[in-house]
Amino acid sequence: MRASGTFTVADFTPAPVPGPQIDTAVPVGVSTMEKRFDGEVTGRSTTLFTAAFDQSTEVGTYVAMESFDGALHGRAGRFNFAHAATTLGDGGRADEFFVIVPGSGTGELAGITGGGGIAVEADGTHRIRFDYELGR
């Protein structure tokens, strides 16, 4: 099944990078986020977000782990998903990765597995899709 929707970032809070750091040409940052979802995907998520990103060129790579609380196609529950991508500075993305964490589903989303994707449109609209199956 495929569930699609849009999302907004309700909160983005930078956090200190733990442990000793190694300075590189592109600094590493850590943040927490909260997102709100609408469409066939409804609800919210909390996110641990880390990135090496150059603000001036908008080139970098991020890795995120999210905990989702909401519904897909009206089926309510919670699960984790992870995603990563490289931003290319021209609005493009490369090397995308997206996976629903096996065994993390609860409620009507128990047994959920699959993947998905994120796209950012030219006008800034953020879209998400889950390509998923539900266990028995």
Q: Other C-beta atoms within 10 Å of 41: how many?
A: 22
- Return the pLDDT at 136: 61
Q: Are 29 and 17 in contact (CB under 8 A)?
A: yes
Q: Judge contact between 60 and 87, C-beta under 8 A.
A: yes
More confident residue, 117 or 135: 117
Average pLDDT value for residue range 76-93: 92
Read off the pLDDT of residues 10-20 as tens digits, 9 standing for 90 and up.
Answer: 999 999 998 88
Say yes or no to pLDDT of 76 above 70.
yes
Per-residue pLDDT tens over the stretch 99-133: 999 999 999 999 999 999 999 888 989 999 999 99
